[in-house]
Amino acid sequence: MDQIISFQHAIIKDLETAGRASPYTADANEPDPRYKSYGVRAKETKAIFTKHRPTIRSLPPDQQIDLAKTLIRSKFGEQQSIALFILQKHTSYFSPSRFAELDSLIRCLHGWSKIDAFTGSLLRDILWQHPAEFSELVRSWNNDPDMWLRRASVVLFTRKVAKSGQFNNFALEMCHNLIHAKEDLVQKGVGWALKDLMRSDKERIKSYVRQLRQQGVSSVITLYAIRDLKGEERSNILAKPSSITTQSTIDHK
């Protein structure tokens, strides 16, 4: 354990030095008062990881994982980013028997930048490795009081996961549960998921987003969802129900 603490202190020293030279107060624009940061942006944080990578990778895998856990529990965004770089080589560690441990670690993330980074790599890979078991954990996050866990439960279904089409039904279930969420960043997470799900299920998702518009669901969700749509596809979703009916009648004639 002493070696882990020594490694963490060396990383902290470099982050603090970089933070003092940075014009930023945080590594990302994070609204949660629990979020802690040195003000070191992503490029510089990655450079610090690269500097320490040879010595980190020289550790046995279990010690690398312990170091990553220690960094995550610090609740400093830059330490958590370095932890993610470490864990990307060890996703198999988080088998279903360790999901309670994974849950406790994710609860240390108090910002969109870290939630999005972890869901886009580590959590994505865990989903692919253990789809049935991990889905149950994701479902519990979907109904959690912590807004960041709720955001994670939908942002998980963006990018490569959305494009694969493997989890579309489950993704829609998670999104639908949060269409009345009050938090802006949860709403944007739902919209982002729906936007990316169109890559593999376009007509169904378009129809769903049109229904959300007609039901008066927040435009934060629906406008984000149709960001990639152009022309008639976009205007048909934005049209009021009466306009859609009129157009349908004209087309029929």
Q: Tell me how far apart the alpha carbons of residues 80 and 230 are, in angstroms, rounded to a whole number.
A: 38
**pLDDT confidence bin for 248, thresholds 50/70/90:** very low
Mean pLDDT, rounded, for 65-94: 98
Which tokens is 111 given?
A: 């910002």
- pLDDT over threshold 70, residue 253: no
Q: Is 76 helix (H, G, I), strand (E, B) or coil?
A: strand
Q: Tell me how far apart the alpha carbons of residues 38 and 40 are, in angstroms, rounded to a whole number.
A: 6
Q: What is the pLDDT of residue 242?
A: 56
pLDDT tens digits for 115-171?
999 999 999 999 999 999 999 999 999 999 999 999 999 999 999 999 999 999 999
Mean pLDDT, rounded, for 169-193: 98
Q: Is 87 helix (H, G, I), strand (E, B) or coil?
A: helix
Q: What burial letters (b/e) apply to 35-64, b meaning 16+ CB within 10 Å?
A: bbbbbbbeebbbebbeebeeebeebeeeeb
Q: What is the pLDDT of residue 1?
A: 72
Which DSSP category does 89 fall into? T
Torsion of CA 73, 75, 77, 81, to 10 degrees: 10
pLDDT tens digits for 11-56?
999 999 999 999 999 999 999 999 999 999 999 999 999 999 999 9
Report which of 88, 70, 89, 85 is spatially closest to residue 10, judged by C-alpha positions. Answer: 70
Q: In terms of DSSP H, where are the helices of the chain?
A: 2-20, 42-57, 61-73, 77-87, 99-106, 112-118, 124-129, 131-142, 147-155, 159-164, 168-177, 184-214, 219-225, 231-238, 241-252
Residues contacting 164, CB < 8 A, separation 6+: 200
pLDDT tens digits for 213-245?
999 999 999 999 999 999 999 999 999 875 444
Q: Is 15 helix (H, G, I), strand (E, B) or coil?
A: helix
- Residue 83: CB atoms within 10 Å: 28
Q: Which residue type occupies 141?
A: W
- Positive or negative, the CA dihedral 59, 61, 62, 64 is positive
pLDDT tens digits for 190-215?
999 999 999 999 999 999 999 999 99
Which tokens is 212 given?
A: 């959300």
- Positive or negative, the CA dihedral 214, 237, 221, 190 is positive
Contact 153, 141 (CB under 8 A): yes
